[in-house]
Structure 1
Amino acid sequence: MTELNADTARRAIVDHTRRLAEAAAAGPDATVPTAPKWIIADLVAHVGQTQHWVAEIIERRVTDPTRLPTEMAVLPTDSREG
């Protein structure tokens, strides 16, 4: 089994985010093949919120599971905002 370390995790996040961006080129209303009830816009929002959640954990250096953030990031109402 591969040991997870910061460099391996960072490379995986970058690689998977790149692949998501490539898939998103199909357009925001395209169906997600592995989750047919979702469209690309749903998947991008979900992954973005998750990445913001993880970033907060890293920034705050949370090590105690009881101190994990309980709120997800608020999405912009305009998809061109970032």
Structure 2
Amino acid sequence: MNDLELSVPSPDEVKLLEWAAVRTRRNQLLAGTDYTQTADSALAEAQRAEVAVYRQALRDIPESGPDPFTIAWPEKPEFLK
């Protein structure tokens, strides 16, 4: 028999892991809109500005609250859906 013990993560460890998942998702969403901020983007200036606001809201997420399980994700601009 194997004497391998499995440990249950503490609530603080679970919270840290969830914050890491939140940051990973945030980074994926940012990367998915990187093309919109280039000088040769096909978006109109107003659309580019709208995406810039969305991207800033994404960047603010890790500092937006004490609980990683209740993140209010910003809404992606309709023209990007």
TM category, shorter = 0.3 to 0.5
Higher helix share: 2
Answer with 1 or 2: which has the greater Rg: 2
Task: State the TM-score, normalizing by the size of structure 1.
Answer: 0.37
Instruction: Name the structure where strand makes up a greater proportion of residues.
Output: 1
Which structure has more relative contact order (CA 8 Å, sep 6+)? It is 2
